[in-house]
Amino acid sequence: MAAFTVHTSTATSLYSPAGTAILLRSRSRAYPTTTTIRVSCSKTVVIGVAADSGCGESTFMRRLTSVLGGGAEPPRGGNPNSNTLVSDTATVICLDDYHSLDRAGRKAKGVKALDPRAHDFDLMYEQVRAIKEGRAVEKPVYNHVTGRLDPPELITPPEILVIKGLHPM
């Protein structure tokens, strides 16, 4: 498990008011990393984490949510194959859930899962906006096991919303 040091920005700019940038630096010599996370100030703080498939972002998200408060689990009473993680203060949503086509549909249209055209960014935008405004949403669920779109799950506004995937913002 890599240890991280956390620094908050004191500088102010048009894009990053003071205190809104969080810099995570890995202390591991094997995996030196610097990650800047920008947050916005509202009822729900939104953090976007961009990462490639298979690079460890899910493990990082579980660790991050435990640091932010409580253990991360799929939504209670929901789909056990959910990509969503919920802790006491944070909810992590995976942008894979916003695939506009299931695996068979992408194959039929010749579109890869990583292609931006394979995602419903309008729905993602509307749902993140609704959560920031304090409204619950019925978020889609992409099942990585079956390659199908499962029934949606209810996401209530958390204190911190983390959006992870290839195209978080």
Do 27 and 94 sit in the same domain of this protein?
no
CATH of the domain at 91: 3.40.50.300
Same domain, yes or no, for 73 and 154?
Answer: yes
Cα distance between residue 36 and residue 128, in whole Å: 20
Dihedral sign for Cα 139, 121, 123, 40, please.
positive
Kindly state whether residues 48 and 7 are assigned to the same domain: no
Number of domains in the chain: 2
Q: What is the pLDDT of residue 136?
A: 94
Q: Mark whether 34 and 48 lie in a shared domain.
A: no
Same domain, 9 and 87: no
Note if the pTM is more than 0.75. no
Domain that holds residue 13: 1-38
Q: How confident is the prediction for the chain on average, in pLDDT? A: 75
User: Do 48 and 118 fall within a single domain?
Assistant: yes
Contacts of 30 (CB under 8 A, 6+ apart): none
Q: Which amino acid is at 84?
A: T
Mean pLDDT by 10 residues, the chain (169 residues): 42 42 48 50 77 76 77 70 81 90 92 86 93 94 90 92 78
Q: What angle do CA 5, 162, 43 make, to 5 degrees?
A: 105
The reported pLDDT for the residue numbered 168 is 66
Report CA-CA distances (Å) from 168 to 71, 77, 146.
Answer: 23, 27, 24
For 126, other C-beta atoms within 10 Å of its C-beta total: 12
Pair of tokens at residue 102: 């299931």
Same domain, 92 and 118: yes
